[in-house]
Amino acid sequence: MRRKSTGPSSNDGEDRISRLPNALIHHILSFMDMKYVVQTSVLSKRWIDVWTTMSTLNFNSYQFLTRENGVSEIQIGSFANFINEIFILRGDSSINKFHVDWNEETHKPRTHTIPISNHMNTWIIAAVRHAVQDLSVQIRSRASMILRLPHCLLNSQSLTKLVLKHQPNYTKISLPNSMSLPRLKLLSLSMFYVEEVKLLNELISSCPVLESLILANISVGMGDDVNLNIESRDLKHFYLHSKGRGINHPRHTMAKVIKLSTPNLTSLICHDYMIQEYFLENLSSLVTAKIKMTKENDRDLSYGDELSYLERSEEEKEDLYPKRMMKMLRALHNMEKLTLSASFVQVLSKAPGLTQCQPPQFHSLQWLKLTTCLTRGCLAAITYLLKISPKLESLILMSKERRIADVDDDWEARLSLPCTLSHLKFVEIQQLQGCNNEFKFVEFLRKNGAVLEEMVLWFRFSKRS
């Protein structure tokens, strides 16, 4: 039986949140947009000046979305003025995070506004003067612009995280001649064009303690030296995405050669075209790799004379690409988890001498995911990968093609894998079609998986007419 309280109740109007220390209130407000943070000043006298000492400043132009006569419009001018007033009124307290999300893409303004580039440097300089540590700028606009990064930003002594992203079109980014970021641990650049690749190399080398590097659809100007060199002892995570944007640009593409020497790298994600040449050195600490290399088609290679080094005949590609994929695999020999795309597996199957017995190379590989199809050629590639992975415990296959040609009768003889599947415990095959060769391969795994504990099969269901 509950006993009614006769003393002061919890709903007697006591404002417990206002009694919290400023540090805790600041932490709670750090998850909110600054428009709502400022609005807390009307709650009581206790809250009037709380927002002025916030060290986390989040600004999203979507919060200035209005609807008039059924038309949605972001008040870009009001948004920019709001940020300016925040910097004027907040005082001299330091800034930990400064994040801006500027959107002119989804809701285009009906009236002319001052370009974002005219505002951005002012805000960046103000943030750097307040010893900002985490700075993120994301711009959604189809307007062409040049983003001239101020010298103070790329020579900041306090910055630990820098994220710059523009979409959906490329924006030219102008880098200063001298750069030094002694505390930067994360650098992320997306959808930018850098005129000189040497400046991009200098930017990366100016970050001696860099741990995470993200380069998404970065293009560089053509010249005698278009090599991207990434040499870092502290780099642990590297993400490179060059597909779909840079390769078919008429004036620029990614670097001619990408060199990676990172002895402490633990994760590598690479989405690129096979026409791109890679030199992967000293990846002794690599744990996880996701490689999605794609063969470009004819319309991807509409270059001018200055890009003629990328133009190759189909005969050259048939000989070159398998060797490049094999070379990339050899550089990843220490990893524990590997994901490969369908194009990678298909091209790998054409490597010379692939079906010959070779000594194990992936001594640490325990988890393997392949997007592929069980054709004769792809089976050869899968066989090779199983042969060089003696400690493999988990295998995940995703069928890529809807129509799979039958393999010949002696396919199982070529899949002879003595002692190779001695550690395989889990198999999952997705998007099966019910073809004979699929079932033959499943049966092969079942017979040869000495310690196989679980096999999961997912079938592709046809749509009803």
pLDDT per position as a tens digit, 228-248: 899 999 999 999 998 654 444
Distance, in Å, from the CA atom of 434 to the CA atom of 458, rounded to the nearest integer, reads 10
pLDDT at res. 2: 46
Write the Ramachandran bin of 331: left for phi over 0, alpha for psi from -120 to 50, otherwise beta: alpha
- For residue 108, the model assigns a pLDDT of 52
d(CA 211, CA 217): 20
Residue 417 pLDDT: 55
d(CA 342, CA 404): 14
Burial 387-406, CB ≥16 within 10 A → b, else e = bbbbebbbbbbbbbeeebee
How far is 131 from 97, CA to CA, in rounded Å? 10
**What was the pLDDT predicted at 366?**
96
What integer pLDDT is reported at residue 435 of this predicted model? 78
Structure-token pair, residue 225? 């030296």
Instruction: Please give the DSSP secondary-structure letter assigned to residue 391.
Output: T
Are the C-beta atoms of residues 144 and 191 closer than 8 Å to each other? no
Q: Do residues 321 and 300 touch, judged by C-beta distance below 8 A?
A: no
What percent of the chain shows pLDDT beyond 90? 37
Place of tokens 């189909």: 314
Would you state the pLDDT for residue 40?
A: 87
* Residues near 300 by beta carbon (within 8 Å), at least 6 away in sequence: 247, 248, 273
For 58, residues 6+ apart whose C-beta sits below 8 A from its C-beta are 30, 32, 33, 34, 97, 99
pLDDT of residue 92: 84
Cα separation of 450 and 418, whole Å? Answer: 11
Three-class SS of 416-465: CCCCCCCCCCEEEEEEECCCHHHHHHHHHHHHHCCCCCEEEEEECCCCCC
Omega prior to 21 cis, within 30 of 0 = no
Residue 292, H or E segment: strand 288-294
Query: What CA–CA distance (Å, rounded) separates 403 from 282?
Result: 40
What's the pLDDT at 248?
40
CB 399 within 8 A of CB 373: yes
Beta strand extents in 19-159 (DSSP E only): 56-60, 65-68, 71-74, 97-103, 134-141, 146-148
DSSP E strands: which ranges in 117-231? 134-141, 146-148, 161-168, 171-174, 186-190, 192-194, 212-216, 219-220, 227-231
d(CA 197, CA 186): 20
Which residues does the chain have with pLDDT short of 70?
Answer: 1-15, 67-74, 105-115, 117, 222-225, 243-255, 297-312, 353-360, 401-420, 462-465
The predicted structure's pLDDT at residue 6: 47
Token digits for 316? 């050259």
Tokens encoding 411: 């396919």
3-state secondary structure of 354: coil
| The pLDDT value given to residue 83 | 93
